[in-house]
Structure 1
Amino acid sequence: MNLKNIKQTFIETFPGDFSKNPIQRNTPKVLFSTIDPVGFDQPELIIFNEKLSEEIGLGKFENNDLDFLVGNSLPENLKTYATAYAGHQFGNWAEQLGDGRAIIAGEIINELGEKNELQWKGAGATPYSRHADGRAVLRSSVREYLMSEAMHHLGIPTTRALSLSFTGENVVRDMMYSGNPQEEKGAVVVRTAESFLRFGHFELMSAQKEIDTLQKLTDFTIKNYFPEITSEGEQKYKDFFQSVCTKTADLMVDWFRVGFVHGVMNTDNMSILGLTIDYGPFSMMDEYDLNFTPNTTDLPGRRYAFGKQGQISQWNLWQLANALFALIKDEKFLEDTLNSYGTYFWEAHDKMLCRKFGFNELKDTDEEFFSNWQGLMQELQLDYTLFFNLLEKINDISNAKTEFQKISYTFLDEVKLKKLENFLQIYKDRLEKNTISKNESLDLMKKTNPKFLLRNYLLFECIEEINKGKTEMLEKLTKALENPYEEIFPEFSAKRPTNYDDISGCSMLSCSS
């Protein structure tokens, strides 16, 4: 890899009093602290994303690159660092937080002028680790590597993963916070994104009343990542906030499209660029359930359940608005923008559902249609993804009952099957109102509805195999996630097997990593 191309714009833009002291502490009035990766004696490469490496301008993997990928060997020009931010966690103000497991190497710009930050995750403690060790375990690292790439190929804005490596050491974790800590294999992921800036970076500067630094940070963000904004003064910050709102709403609609549930939508886990960031206790939804949350920490309140992600994103934007108020100074603008967020989100959401059903335009009666569909899906416990895949194939409604029984997570009696049959007839009648051909309608569905999703049980199986030194499933999953709108491996396009219903890591997860 061509490591000489890595630059460090952020660290040059925000000079200050920083320390290499790794002791965890508060760092008031500081946006970042320089820190070295801890280094590992016996690392081992598990997988390297050569396509991504070429795309971002690093080139092909060479034998001595492993040392860089685990943070053992750094180019002389790099000052590696971790950033400080704040946030609201589960609705409560958490004050200073920061990159507890992440260390930033710098930024690389490819031949097209596209920027990407490089960041190690799991390479040791930082001043923001809150007395944790800064390491990451294999299971969480595999999940992040594969899922971030899966989201990218689904067409959803996301951070990405360049490499996954064993560290050669064991890490102790209490997976379910049950008082039973166990040793697990440690790992490091190198992840990339245009920027890892979060709502929480702006919240921290606002909370510390560092308004001058807040303005510099916002100006830096606009200049580097929002080139379409050309206005000046307060209008520039208004346009910035409006753009963040739009990007966030579009991301939420994409999550709903594929049934992705983040699990921990704290403000410090919200990207200012509208990217999916920080893959923890996430899940792709199996049976359709608006109340589904994969995060054991989110029980029983289910604050971050699938169906609440739209309203939670709006709540998080309110917190960002509070942070930016010192720059925007227009309460009515912020209120109007946030109040219109729901209108924009639901209109975009319903247009997305139209595409999933093969409708070429949204009609006045569709809101009732979608509401009835949601109720049916929940009652019949139908698999979200497989429902739409099956919908593409149905010709004879009366003979479809058997096929729908196969994608239900419960038994469908005659009453439920009759409800399903009635709905399918309504759907068939609604398709007749399209102003496009049946083939065009089908093409719309196929472009919108994935055939392959990286379900938790598949990740569980893959992690188990890697723990045993096997990579066959990792290779198959990588090929499948690169082609999510095709059915390359039919065995992956199936509902979750019943033997995984109550297995930790398949249906429910914790934040432990």
Structure 2
Amino acid sequence: MNIENIGQPFLKKFPGDFSNNPMQRNTPKVLFATIKPAGFDHPQLIAFNEALSEEIGLGKFEEKDLNFLVGSQLPDNIQSYATAYAGHQFGNWAGQLGDGRAILAGEITNATGKKTEIQWKGAGATPYSRRADGRAVLRSSVREYLMSEAMYHLGVPTTRALSLAFTGEDVIRDIMYNGNPQYEKGAVVIRTAESFLRFGHFELMFAQGEHKLLQDLLDFTIENYFSEIITSDHQKYKDFFEKVCSRTADLMVEWFRVGFVHGVMNTDNMSILGLTIDYGPYSMMDEYNLNFTPNTTDLPGRRYAFGKQGQIAHWNLWKLANALQPIINDEKFLESTLNNFGVYFWEAHDKMLCKKFGFDGLRKEDDEFFSNWQGIMQELELDHTLFFNQLEKITPDTDLNEYFSPAAYTVLNEEKLRKLEDFIEKYQSRLHSNTISREESLELMKTTNPKFILRNYLLYQCIEEISNGKTEMLTKLTQALENPYQELFPEFSVKRPSSYDDTAGCSTLSCSS
């Protein structure tokens, strides 16, 4: 790989702590601290994303590159570092946080001029590890590696994964925080993104009263990642905030489209570029439930439940607006922009649903139809993905019980079947009023509704196999997630087996997942 071409513009631009000291501490008035990865003597490669490596400009993998993939034996051109940020966690101000188990190598530029940041996750402690060890276990690393790539191929903005490797050491973790810690295999993921900047980076500068540094960070972000902003005066900061709001709304719509639940939407887990970032206690939706959260830490309040993700994104943007106020200095503008978020989000959300149903466009009466659909989905406990897959093939002669039972997590009794039949009649009536052909309608559905989603029980099975030295399922899942709008493996296109309903690390997860 071309690791000698990795540059470090962030280090050159901003003040930092160059002490290489991993001890937990506050680092005021700086945006990063240099830190060396722990280094691992016996790494073992599990997976390498060759296509991504070529795309971003790192080139082909060679055996000698394995040490780099786990942060060992770094070349002289790389000064690794961790960034400082703050955030609101579960609605409360948490103060300084920062990259606790993420260490940046720098930035690579490919032949077209596209820049990509490269970051190890699980390579050791940083000043921001908050008394933790900075390591990662196999299960969380596999989940991040596979899910970030699954989201990319679904068409959802996301960070991406370059490599997955064993570190050769064991790490102790209490998976459910119930006083039963166990040793697990350690692993490191290299993840990539155009930038890993978060809402929390800006919140930290505001909280510290570092307004000049805050403006410098804004200027850097706009110049490097928002090329569409062409205004050069104070207006550019307003344009920036509007762009962040629209990108964030668009991301939430995409999550709703594919049925993704993040699980921990703290402001420090919100990308300033509108990317899905930090794959922890996430889940793809099985049975449709607006109140579903996969994160045990989010119980009983369910702050980050599936149906609340747009609302929480809005709340997080209010906190970002508060941090940017000293620079933008226009409260009426910020308030107006934030008030428009809901209008923009819900219109985009409903237009997305129109595509999922194969409608020609959004009509006023569709609002009631969508509300009825949500009620039916929840009452009948229908699988979010399988429902739409079945809907593509339905005909007036379809036996609804036989057809939808494989997509239901409850028995479809006579009363439930009547409600489903009534809904399907309304759906077909709406289709008949379409101004587009049935072929065009089906094409909308097929390009909007995935045939394959990376369900937690599949990830659970894959992690178990890798732990036992097998990679067959990893290979199959990789093929499936790279082609999510095709049904390569019919055995993956089924609802979650009941045997996994109460399995820790599958149906229920913690923030350590």
Q: Tell me the alpha carbon deviations over residues 262-293 of structure 1, each in whole angstroms, 9 at most, x when there is no partner.
A: 00000000000000000000000000000000
Rounded Cα–Cα distance in structure 2 between residues aligned with 1:209 and 1:153: 41
Rounded Cα–Cα distance in structure 1 between residues aligned with 2:98 and 2:376: 43
- 2:281–2:509 Cα contact (<8 Å) kept: yes
1:128 aligned counterpart, secondary structure: coil
- 1:262–1:281 Cα contact (<8 Å) kept: yes
1:396 deviates by: 2.6
The match for 2:433 is: 433
2:46 aligned counterpart, secondary structure: strand
The match for 1:203 is: 203
The match for 2:293 is: 293
Rounded Cα–Cα distance in structure 2 between residues aligned with 1:480 and 1:109: 29
The match for 1:125 is: 125
Q: Tell me the alpha carbon deviations over residues 288-319 of structure 1, each in whole angstroms, 9 at most, x when there is no partner.
A: 00000000000000000000000000000000
- 1:397–1:425 Cα contact (<8 Å) kept: no
1:106 deviates by: 0.3
- 2:100–2:129 Cα contact (<8 Å) kept: yes
1:15 deviates by: 3.3
The match for 2:85 is: 85
In the TM superposition, 1:318-357 aligns within 5 A as 318-357=318-357
Indicate yes or no: 2:40 matched with 1:36. Answer: no
**Cα RMSD after superposing both structures:** 0.7
Please report the TM-score for the alignment, with normalisation by the length of structure 2.
0.99
In the TM superposition, 1:62-81 aligns within 5 A as 62-81=62-81
Task: Name whichever of 397-406 and 385-394 sits farther off.
Answer: 397-406
1:466 corresponds to which letter in structure 2? I
In the TM superposition, 1:77-226 aligns within 5 A as 77-226=77-226
2:325 corresponds to which letter in structure 1? F
The match for 1:377 is: 377
In the TM superposition, 1:345-494 aligns within 5 A as 345-494=345-494
1:97 corresponds to which letter in structure 2? L
1:398 deviates by: 4.8
Rounded Cα–Cα distance in structure 2 between residues aligned with 1:399 and 1:77: 65
1:16 deviates by: 4.0
- 1:285–1:384 Cα contact (<8 Å) kept: yes
2:24 aligned counterpart, secondary structure: coil
Rounded Cα–Cα distance in structure 2 between residues aligned with 1:191 and 1:373: 37
Q: Tell me the alpha carbon deviations over residues 144-167 of structure 1, each in whole angstroms, 9 at most, x when there is no partner.
A: 000000000000000000000000
Indicate yes or no: 2:10 matched with 1:10. Answer: yes
1:401 deviates by: 2.1
- 1:33–1:127 Cα contact (<8 Å) kept: yes
1:247 deviates by: 0.3
1:397 deviates by: 4.8
Q: Tell me the alpha carbon deviations over residues 335-360 of structure 1, each in whole angstroms, 9 at most, x when there is no partner.
A: 00000100000000000000000002
Task: Name whichever of 58-67 and 9-18 sits farther off.
Answer: 9-18
Question: Percent identity at matched positions?
Answer: 75
Task: Name whichever of 12-21 and 410-419 sits farther off.
Answer: 12-21
1:34 deviates by: 0.3
- 2:15–2:31 Cα contact (<8 Å) kept: no
2:119 aligned counterpart, secondary structure: strand
Unaligned runs of 5+ in 1: none
The match for 1:263 is: 263
Indicate yes or no: 2:308 matched with 1:308. Answer: yes
* Corresponding pairs, count: 513
Rounded Cα–Cα distance in structure 2 between residues aligned with 1:396 and 1:44: 55
Please report the TM-score for the alignment, with normalisation by the length of structure 1.
0.99
2:237 corresponds to which letter in structure 1? Y
Rounded Cα–Cα distance in structure 1 between residues aligned with 2:258 and 2:137: 27
Q: Tell me the alpha carbon deviations over residues 213-236 of structure 1, each in whole angstroms, 9 at most, x when there is no partner.
A: 000000000000001111133211
2:234 aligned counterpart, secondary structure: helix
Task: Name whichever of 69-78 and 485-494 sits farther off.
Answer: 69-78
2:498 corresponds to which letter in structure 1? T
- 1:397–1:421 Cα contact (<8 Å) kept: no
- 2:15–2:32 Cα contact (<8 Å) kept: no
Rounded Cα–Cα distance in structure 1 between residues aligned with 2:142 and 2:16: 36
Rounded Cα–Cα distance in structure 1 between residues aligned with 2:457 and 2:333: 45
Rounded Cα–Cα distance in structure 2 between residues aligned with 1:17 and 1:95: 18
Unaligned runs of 5+ in 2: none
- 1:87–1:97 Cα contact (<8 Å) kept: yes
Rounded Cα–Cα distance in structure 1 between residues aligned with 2:402 and 2:64: 56
Q: Tell me the alpha carbon deviations over residues 439-488 of structure 1, each in whole angstroms, 9 at most, x when there is no partner.
A: 11001000000000000000000000000000000000000000000000
1:133 deviates by: 0.2
- 2:288–2:384 Cα contact (<8 Å) kept: yes
- 1:397–1:424 Cα contact (<8 Å) kept: no
Rounded Cα–Cα distance in structure 1 between residues aligned with 2:503 and 2:263: 17
The match for 1:250 is: 250
Divergent runs of 4+, >4 A: none
Rounded Cα–Cα distance in structure 2 between residues aligned with 1:117 and 1:75: 17
- 1:39–1:123 Cα contact (<8 Å) kept: yes
Rounded Cα–Cα distance in structure 1 between residues aligned with 2:386 and 2:300: 28
1:290 aligned counterpart, secondary structure: coil
- 1:356–1:388 Cα contact (<8 Å) kept: yes
1:233 aligned counterpart, secondary structure: coil
2:297 corresponds to which letter in structure 1? T
Q: Tell me the alpha carbon deviations over residues 384-437 of structure 1, each in whole angstroms, 9 at most, x when there is no partner.
A: 000000000111355232111111001111010010001001000000111110
1:5 deviates by: 1.4
Rounded Cα–Cα distance in structure 2 between residues aligned with 1:19 and 1:136: 24
1:57 deviates by: 0.6
Q: Tell me the alpha carbon deviations over residues 89-113 of structure 1, each in whole angstroms, 9 at most, x when there is no partner.
A: 0000000000000000000011111
